Chains A and B, each alone.
Chain A
């Protein structure tokens, strides 16, 4: 693959901690190889900052393979940047042009407090899972795995929903900061499997209640979440969650 070097201007959100307010600072990075990943480009900038004696930029990242869900930033206003179904860590610099200015910001949502620079607190997602995103089975209670055949199409659909990496981009993309795509993906993953069926009503009710409690907004079906989700989680899951929730509400009222 042909590669070239490009020069960039970066406008990056800097904030010391959750108590202080932040602001954009402008930096330049030159000779960025188009073979670098976006995060490697920030590494290069950070090395430069350290050599100049200024604090490097803090950002969440770990796997750098698009699977752990740690990386999280708006790149030019779009969560995870310009490419579809691509996390920030998988984005490569060949997606940018020489001389371009790139604006980089942390996720913005009431439920996601900025902890430092580009790092936000997403522990609300864990608490939503705690509210019901599981199947209640203790270790040692399981029956033979093949004693319960599951239709391949159902298993595949369940897997597709379970592919969510919990990154929070759907919340960041939504003008209401709704977490419906994330919650619906989990509800769908478990509801489609026979093992998950016994708890499906209580699960939907409890997870939605926790989501509301955490301060996520409501869903108005704009579809922004689906468009940016790096794992291609479908908005159909939200329709399913609404149905599950409605059914659960109806039957529990009786």
Chain B
């Protein structure tokens, strides 16, 4: 049994108690301690900046040319915080409860409560840094509701919330770099973790400009390397998002928690063809006003606007009258898949449904006409006024849709389809965000996280910044206080030499295959297996097949992949090859985990475990645990459970009917 080291005491007092009693490192000693931070997205940049401010010597790494380009930059919708500025009944408890329930009772209470507790500080911190959140005319911060919650607790900066938060953290980080507290290594990729005497003591990194390997030592290593949604090839993640750093740590002993928990976002622009390289998210906020439908008739070839009202199936409103178009992400995604699989899909690929704003445009138009006291206004005027309102609310999203599809969503309904978006699984961490490897921490999307089996909208940004600004500065000190005796860790230690040699050999091996198939082609094939068999719906037969197919793919990859160019130069193909090789191994583990979890919960839907009317069915008696996988050599893993105990919240089956 895995011990999460949850402090004793009342749930609401655990964090305060912990902070009051954890060990501290005195300022003179902090200067002698080095911390390695891999990844400088929201989680990593906030951690590196905060630890630098505290006086630690920080070395930070990212693979992009600047920390400002991390995948976090793309988050659109917003960030949650229990500020209760709207006086609508929000509280730390309610945010905690919503997150636990939204996660379908597969998250750890103590961590989630802490997250809700520090959420308010995040907003304060960001505003102090100059993050230009949206404001009301009175000058105070504006909120919106997001992802079907009943309170308005989401803070936002138009559709660019992630960008503005990351720039805030990035600027704080650059300030620490200029003060000499943080040394930044851009265009660097971590290739291995170095463990000495059972403690994480450094990394092997590759300079992506020269191809040279480097050894970096530290008293603690923080992995903040983001999610692994790109295992599906197509996802809303940035092209470079990868699992490599976490995977290397996993192979060195760190448990991988709940790898199969993937979030499939219901509203993305559908695939347009074989050339498709990534998918684009259309913010969830669109479901506040858009109505989702498909034709009632199978394979209906008519244009959307030619299909009369009574021949349209507003299937979410039909199936879930209470929540309608605002059901949670996992439910909305599965419902779209169900309709398309049954032959009701639209567009050329038939893998899409309509998201229609015509009704909203009319509704808003009438309100505006009323405000202007326009009597007997024509339909034309009403629609014109309505379009203006919709433009004000969603203009940038509509523009983005038009740029990509060439269609005008003010005139025609959008076509959307679910896409892989976020991974709830990741390296297992205890209450202190430490993995089971001492001195190795994992923050942000890369850890197995506070979101259980399904993440609520606007909660990832909150978690990344909570981890980096407010949790790790305390918890890492509690460990480092006992490490002050360890002075300079030599990179000439045999463990470093050994790790570097292995990395070099692997790269050499990849280059020497000189096969016939591109890295991309393997990535695509992996993605297809994962999407078909470990995607929105999973079953035992499919998963077993997938495991065999992936093992086969791995073999073929190591015999057939073709990488041109050489090692000691900038070589994006080689970088990608290493990442895809790791994705292939991860894919197998995800299928093993999905096979083990013979229940449906959150984003994980096992076809064998559903109610008579096709809803997800959880099995708390059998699966109320975190499935942690310990690497035991090629194709072998052993599961180490962490049982989840709900002391405060009473788990119930979710219902949105």
- Which A residues contact B (CB, under 8 angstroms)? 1, 3, 16-17, 33, 35-37, 39-41, 43-44, 46-47, 49-51, 53-56, 58, 60-70, 86, 90, 92, 94, 115-116, 119, 121-123, 125-126, 129-131, 133-146, 148-152, 155-156, 158-159, 162-163, 165-166, 189-190, 193, 195-196
Contact = CB atoms under 8 A, between A and B. Distances in A.
B518 A60 contact: no
A134 B171 contact: yes
B276 interface: yes
Between A56, A92, A115, A123, the greatest number of chain B beta carbons within 10 A of the residue's beta carbon is seen for: A56
B387 interface: no
B85 A146 contact: yes
Contacts of B50: 138-139
B83 interface: yes
Those 3 A-B pairs whose CB atoms lie nearest each other, nearest first: A149-B139, A134-B171, A142-B128
Interface string B102-141: 0000000000000000000101111111101111111111
A190 B132 CA distance: 9
A131 to B, nearest CB: 7
Interface stretch (B288-296, B502-510, B564-572): B564-572
Contacts of A148: 127
Contacts of B133: 145, 155
Nearest to A48: B518
29 contacts: A43-B520, A46-B520, A50-B518, A53-B564, A61-B239, A62-B239, A67-B73, A68-B73, A70-B65, A86-B403, A92-B404, A115-B570, A116-B569, A123-B186, A126-B66, A126-B174, A126-B184, A130-B175, A134-B171, A136-B175, A139-B49, A139-B473, A140-B469, A142-B128, A143-B124, A149-B138, A150-B135, A150-B139, A158-B132
Between B138, B275, B404, the greatest number of chain A beta carbons within 10 A of the residue's beta carbon is seen for: B275
Contacts of B160: 67, 163
A122 B65 contact: yes
Contact of B273 (A36, A133, A190): A36
B371 to A, nearest CB: 20
Nearest to B177: A130
A64 B171 CA distance: 23
Given A35-B275, A68-B68, 14 more contacts: A40-B276, A47-B520, A49-B564, A51-B518, A67-B163, A122-B65, A133-B171, A135-B128, A138-B50, A139-B49, A149-B138, A155-B134, A158-B132, A162-B164
B602 to A, nearest CB: 26
B407 interface: yes
Counting chain B residues whose Cβ lies within 8 A of the other chain, the interface size class is 35 or more
Contact of B238 (A44, A68, A138, A166): A68
B130 A58 contact: no
Given A50-B518, A152-B139, A142 B273 contact: no
A145 B69 contact: no
A90 B404 contact: yes
B132 A159 contact: yes
B513 interface: no
Interface string B271-290: 01101111010000000000
Given A151-B139, A152-B136, A139 B125 contact: yes
B89 interface: no
A36 to B, nearest CB: 5
Contacts of A158: 130, 132
Interface in B55-86: 64-71, 73-74, 83, 85
Given A69-B69, A70-B69, A116-B569, A139 B469 contact: yes
Contacts of A165: 163
Contacts of A86: 403
B627 interface: no
Contact of B65 (A39, A43, A121): A121
Contact of B53 (A33, A123, A134, A139): A139
B158 interface: yes
Nearest to A116: B570
A187 B121 CA distance: 26
B607 interface: no
Given A33-B273, A43-B520, A142 B239 contact: no
B653 interface: no
B337 interface: no
A36 B121 CA distance: 43
B406 interface: yes
B564 A1 contact: no
Contacts of A133: 171, 174
Given A55-B565, A62-B240, A193-B130, A142 B85 contact: no
Contacts of A193: 130, 132
B125 A189 contact: no
B550 to A, nearest CB: 22
Given A133-B174, A148-B127, A64 B138 contact: no
A173 to B, nearest CB: 20
Given A58-B570, A116-B570, A129-B174, A143 B128 contact: yes
